[in-house]
Amino acid sequence: MLDGHQGKCHNLHGHTYRLIVEVSDLLQPQGSSKEMVMDFADIKTIINRHIISKLDHAYLYDETNNNERQIAALLKQMQRKVFAFPCRTTAEGISRFIFNQLIAYLPVSKITLWETPTSYCEYQNNKP
């Protein structure tokens, strides 16, 4: 939910997200990953561990919003899965969060997050 939004996303709802993580780096010069940036299996493991396992089927909420925090507190009491974001849970905010989480583990160059089959956003940190 986007508390305070003047549209239907003001209400509690869900999405069918699809996440694309783009990595970019030099190719490995030797070893079993020679001529790869990284093995896809390793990338998938990292994404599952640090993103998917935490967000999938959870109530995603903005920890700075009092109403959303109250709902999260109730859900926690009911032993439901919740996840607090440091921002509004827009596709843009979630994309930036995912990028910033994964950069410690992967050479992430871009995050593409599909909120629905027809709506997506991209986030990349354009460093000088």
pLDDT reported for residue 127: 59
Whole-model pTM?
0.91
DSSP 8-state assignment for residue 58: S
Q: What does residue 71 show for φ and ψ, rounded to 5 degrees? A: -65, -45
Q: How confident is the model at residue 9 (pLDDT cuts 50, 70, 90)?
A: confident
| pLDDT for residue 109 is more than 90 | yes
Backbone dihedral region of 79: left (phi > 0), alpha (psi from -120 to 50 degrees) or beta? left
Average pLDDT in the chain: 94
Residues 6+ apart with CB under 8 A from 84: 61, 62, 63, 72
Model confidence over 29-88: pLDDT tens digits? 999 889 999 999 999 999 999 999 999 999 999 999 999 999 999 999 999 999 999 999
Instruction: List the catalytic residue out of 9, 50, 87, 92.
Output: 9
Instruction: List the catalytic residue out of 5, 22, 68, 115.
Output: 115
Domains of the chain in start order, with CATH, are 15-123 (3.30.479.10)
Q: Is 15 annotated as a binding residue?
A: yes
Please indicate whether residue 87 is annotated as part of the active site: no
